[in-house]
Amino acid sequence: MKPLALADPLLDGYHTPRLRLAAPQPGDGAALLAAIEVSLPLLRRFPDSLPWAQAPQDVHASEAWCQRVALVWPQGQDKIALLWLGDEVVGCAELHLRSAHCWELGFWGHPDWLGIGLYTEAMDSVLSLAFGPYGAQEVFARTDAANLAARRLCQRLGMVDGGDDDDACLYRIRLN
Give which of 14, 1, 27 is closest to 133, Cα–Cα. 14
Predicted pLDDT of residue 164: 65
Give which of 29, 27, 26, 25 is closest to 10, Cα–Cα. 25
- Phi, psi of 157, rounded to the nearest 5 degrees: -80, -5
Q: How far apart are CA 166 and CA 128, in angstroms?
A: 31
What is the CATH architecture assignment of 9-174?
Answer: 3-Layer(aba) Sandwich (3.40)
* C-alpha 18 chain-centroid distance: 16
Amino acid at 42: L
Residue 33 or 11, more confident: 33
Within the chain, strands assigned E span: 14-15, 20-22, 78-85, 88-99, 102-109, 138-144, 160-164, 168-174
Beta carbons of 104 and 159 less than 8 angstroms apart: no
Amino acid at 125: S
pTM reported for the whole predicted model: 0.91
Sorting pLDDT into bands at 50, 70 and 90, what band is 47? confident
Residue 86 has pLDDT above 60, yes or no: yes
Give which of 93, 92, 98 is closest to 77, Cα–Cα. 98
- Phi, psi of 148, rounded to the nearest 5 degrees: -65, -35
Q: Give me the chain's average pLDDT, please.
A: 90
| Residue spans per domain, the chain | 9-174
Predicted pLDDT of residue 4: 37
* C-alpha 32 chain-centroid distance: 13
